[in-house]
Amino acid sequence: MTPHNEAQKEEIAKTVIMTGDPLRAKYIAENYFDDYKLVNTIRGMYCYTGLYKGKRITVMAHGMGIPSMGIYSYELFHFYDVDNIIRVGSCGAFSDKLKIFDIVLVDSSYTESNYAYTLDSKRCNIVSADENLNKCIEETAKEENISYVKGAVLCNECFDPYIPDKEAVIKRAPEDVELIASEMESFALFYNAKREEKRAACLLTVTDVPKEKKGVSAEERKTSLDKMIKLALETVTKIKE
């Protein structure tokens, strides 16, 4: 147990699906899991452990932003001995190739945040997903005939639709980093995984295309990401523990 998670250690599976919205965690448990149990309610960050096709899996909310993801993923890796975390979330498109509801597999996450410097006094602003976990996701996507786009994302500290000059933010990224989308949590997840010698990946569904002024409702964000959720869950069934 931690100040943020009342679950007992044995109530958390070795592989965890994480999602920002607590209601999305509830949705996944209720619609995909058998024999599931609610194991955390502190701060409304719902956490459920159940069975998906016979595989024991935990789904937990992580809230919004780098600090929130930093807390919850660190505690799962460090105190609950979780080996793998796959984030399933939403993102805003930067690339013209991305459309509403396209799936993004994050290759690397770039941030202007001082998360790594604050935690470890390290000037680290880009970190990669686990290569083997991403490979497992790609193989699963091929088997399930689920298309995706793989690339680098901006892990932002501000909700990018509210930023007046998004192009300025993109231009500040290193020249060799082509950012295709923006979200707010993957850097902390990947950094904590590397730090704890664990594995992490991130799948995103495009819910905002600013250049086309297109987006989806809060209800759609909660319930219309099933293809991405299925990809994550099917991947977990293939992970050897």
Which residue bears the tokens 């992490």? 200
Please give the Cα distance from 16 to 76 (Å, whole number): 9
Q: Residue type for 62, please?
A: H
Q: Is 208 a catalytic residue?
A: yes
Please count the other Cβ atoms lying within 10 Å of the Cβ belonging to residue 117. 12
Please give the Cα distance from 107 to 190 (Å, whole number): 10
- CB contact at 8 A, 214 and 92: no
Nearest-CA neighbor of 200 among 212, 191, 213? 191
Q: Is 134 in a helix, a strand, or coil?
A: helix
Q: Is 3 in a helix, a strand, or coil?
A: coil
Please give the Cα distance from 59 to 41 (Å, whole number): 13
- Half-sphere exposure of residue 95, counting CA atoms within 13 Å on the CB side? 19
Please measure the distance between the N-terminal and C-terminal CA atoms of the chain and give it in whole angstroms: 23
Catalytic residue among 21, 130, 208, 226: 208
Bridge partner residues of 93 (DSSP): 181
Running DSSP on this structure, what letter comes out for residue 100? T
Please give the Cα distance from 57 to 87 (Å, whole number): 13
Active site residues: 208
